[in-house]
Amino acid sequence: MINASSPPAPPANGWHTFLWLWGSQAVSVIGSALSGFAISIYLVQTRFPLPGQRGELATALSLTVLAFTLITVFGAPLAGALADRWNRRRMMLVSNGLNAALMGLGVLMVSATLPPIWLLVLFTACEGVLAALHSAAFDTSYSVLVPRENLPRANGMMQTLWSMSGLLSPALATLLIGLPALARTAGGPEWLAGWRDGVPLALLIDAASFLVAALVLLRLNIPTPPRRDTGGQRPGLGQDMTFGFRFVFARPALLNLLLTFTVFNLMTVGVSVLHPLLVKFTLAPDLQAHGWSAGTGLAALYTTFSLGGLLGGVLISAWGGLKRQRVLGVLIPMLAAGVAHALTGVAGTLILTCAALGLYGLMVPMISAHSLSIWQTQVPPELQGRVFSVRRLIAQCTTPLSVAAAGLVAAHAAPGAVLFWAGLCVVAVSGLQLLNPALRRVDEVPDAPPSASAA
């Protein structure tokens, strides 16, 4: 049972603390994006460079992505339970320190030898464990720092951060990887010229970014809300891991919101793997007419999407989002995103397809920021680790299914048609949910309701 008293007010300097936390996270996220991209290039260019190693390369790429994804998604309930049991600031601090050490080991791994696939998989699995722990602590920390009316703005800033890292990291990583070769030809520093490529440098920068984040955390005061759901007794870890499911399923409005978001992910996230096929087949006549290569077309799509996401994040950060009926800030942009997604499949030209994908990217931060703000105001701070982990698990477990389904369907249908019908499904679901009174009233539920029914 939980005491029904109101959650504690954020500290007086909460927004200032959040800005420091956000800034340190920005450094860390960009560093991690650099190292992730660099590892992919390492696998392609250094570890499995020969044409006859295509099978081994495909296996390594698949297993490393799978190891990270499965652990971060399905390990979320455990990480969330620990975030509600432990000091969250200390949990982030330890995760950052261990991540820095892991990146240091990664430097040795890629510099000294050609590691076997199992070692690469183990490396990314360890990354996944630490990412799950850090995310569970971080996602539940800034909601106790930021006044509730500013939560959409804070969430928009986080969306801006992810979009910015996706936009900057490929170019920065490519530049870093080429630095040793440039040093050898231009007479640069001997220590840099002696490296085979710049992959170890990218990993060192990532390690440094984790240390910066840890040093910032040392000077921040991030309150850990006291637990009010124990009834004087400390529940077992297994009970804590299942608590989030009981909490969500006992609240129809939140469950409807979660299922709507899950359908959106199912219809959009996985089918994005069809964009290369869209460029290669559907947009081929337009590309040939303008003398553009398929690589140019694909780069244009990805850049436009990232720019749209960056603009959407900046917009929601500056605006601050809806203060009332925030569910409309989820459903209306979701409907627009569905229309844009459908248009990417039938636009027929690169410019129109980029415009549609840019609009889709613009809507995503608005959807995510308003959705997370609803959860942050409807879930007591001391329960957010367990509840948010279930939210992440249910919403993101559809991604592998979506990727597999998109591949199977695309084998028998044009990629543009798959994108079009997936977008129409999003339009239909979001339109129907706009008429759903249970979901429309999700903001009318008292903030952070007691979870007696879930205990």
Which long-range contacts does 348-352 make (Cβ < 8 Å, 24+ apart)? 348/282, 348/283, 348/286, 349/283, 349/286, 350/283, 350/286, 350/287, 350/290, 350/292, 350/297, 350/300, 350/301
Instruction: Note whether 389 and 77 are within 8 A (CB).
Output: yes
pLDDT digits (tens, 9 = 90+) for 236-275: 888 888 999 999 999 989 999 999 999 999 898 877 778 8
Residue 449, pLDDT > 60, answer no
pLDDT digits (tens, 9 = 90+) for 379-394: 988 899 999 999 989 8
pLDDT digits (tens, 9 = 90+) for 106-137: 999 988 778 888 999 999 999 999 999 999 99
Q: In the Cβ-directed half-sphere of 166, how many Cα atoms lie within 13 Å?
A: 19
Cite the beta strand spans of 153-228 per DSSP E.
none
Least confident of 27-31, 350-354, 393-397, 424-428: 393-397
Structural domains of the chain ordered from first start: 10-226 (1.20.1250.20), 243-445 (1.20.1250.20)
DSSP state, residue 6: P
Amino acid at 270: G
Residue 6, pLDDT > 70, answer no
Tokens in use for 11? 């500290």
Mean pLDDT of 365-385: 92
pLDDT digits (tens, 9 = 90+) for 284-333: 899 899 988 877 888 788 889 989 999 999 999 999 888 888 999 999 99
Chain mean pLDDT for the chain: 87
Mean pLDDT of 409-416: 81
What's the chain's Rg over C-alpha atoms? 23
Task: Give the pLDDT band of residue 232 (cuts 50, 70, 90).
Answer: low
Amino acid at 163: S
Amino acid at 81: A
CA 9 and chain centroid, separation = 28
Mean pLDDT of 184-207: 88
Triad 314, 316, 320: Cα angle to 5°: 125
DSSP state, residue 280: I
- CB-based burial label for 361 (10 Å; 0-12, 13-18, 19+): buried
- What's the pLDDT score for residue 446? 54
Instruction: Note whether 427 and 339 are within 8 A (CB).
Output: yes
Q: What is the pTM of this model?
A: 0.83
